[in-house]
Amino acid sequence: MKESIKWVRNTMSKTDSVPPMALMTEEAVKKAWNFHRSFPCYQVTPLINLPHLAQRLGIRALYLKDESYRFNLHAFKVLGGSYAMAQFIAQKLGQDISALPYEVLISDAIKKKLGDITFYTATDGNHGRGVAWAANTLRQKSVVYMPAGSARARLQNILKEGAAAQVTDLNYDEAVCFAHEQASKDPQGIIVQDTAWEGYEEIPGWIMQGYGTMSYEVHQELTRYGVSPTHIFVQAGVGSLAGSVQGYFAQAYAAQPPVVTVVEAAAADCLYRSARENNLVQVAGKLQTIMAGLACGKANTISWPILKQHSACFVSAPDWVAAKGMRVLGAPLRGDRPVISGESGAVTTGLLAAIGEHDAYRDLREILGLQRDSVVVVFSTEGDTDPERYRSILWDGAWSSV
């Protein structure tokens, strides 16, 4: 028997707090987008219309943002790391990021002014690969620590980008602490982490703004289509991506904000538990889940106020939900475009499919107000970054049940 999906409606007290939302204004996000599009390899990633799946699930439209094409790194994470690193460099140089596009950042003159910097981070794979790629691109160094159980393919991808990388015997949150310690000991070191804690908030804020490039692209494309989203499903580890997406779209569609559902791995559902308890809760232990990118037990303290204020629902999803999403996208209904989506990328589609197909989740469907006129956006945040596991799920039916 499958482990059940759990959810909690957001009944937390709201405030008129402006500062958290100020992080994700259109002006701030457009500055990140302008930086990213200065890269020669920049292309808008596809926003894929899945009309036949939408019809099957009883909604008007379903749009999927496919980040498997991002900078040829097969995941969205590079958007945050690269922008935060560039902002850090701009700050050291006393300049605004808008004056430092790609061609300027990689110049001999900038390298001479900066000297050597080593960017440290902890990662399950995608964020670390993005940091390693960006550091290499910017002619700097990187050191990457990975939690226990990280896929060898993801480690190899990071090493190929020129980083010093290793798999530790720590869980994700412990690896973050270790990376922070190592960076603090290095006179040229700085940690670039996509979560925040007291005293470490500026760089995570830049990372969230960097993620905003993805939301900005979606908004622009939906506007061209003459469509406004009624619902958004977004996955969460520490909540940086979810806070970025929620913060941007709540302002982009201020007159009628979309209903946002935050989806976590059941083994690391710190936001779901925090919403249930109306207080930040940390999940300890090994955090074992196939959704490696979501295996984070401690919430980002600067994204949580945004999620608490605006999100409609928090969902704790077992691994079979992600596996179902991968199969739904990889073997689509006739006429829909196939999408190669990894475990962390497909969980939102898997949840939407489960809600649409199973009476057991009718209450959740009603709470969210999913109807025949609903226009839903989901984010496939990664491709097959662990190819062996991807094939085991698509070809062999792994994690179809528990």
Catalytic residues: 77, 124
Tokens linked to 237: 């580890």
d(CA 154, CA 92): 31
How are strands ordered across the β-sheet holding 61-66?
Answer: 6-9, 313-317, 259-265, 231-235, 375-380, 61-66, 47-49
Non-local CB neighbours of 62 within 8 Å, separated by 6+ positions: 49, 50, 51, 53, 54, 352, 376, 378
The β-bridge relationship of strands 47-49 and 375-380 is unpaired
* Range 351-355, long-range pairs (CB < 8 A, 24+ positions): 351/5, 351/233, 351/261, 351/263, 351/315, 351/317, 351/321, 351/325, 352/57, 352/62, 352/233, 352/376, 352/378, 353/53, 353/57, 353/324, 353/325, 353/328, 354/5, 354/321, 354/324, 355/57
d(CA 195, CA 295): 13
Tokens linked to 69: 């094409």
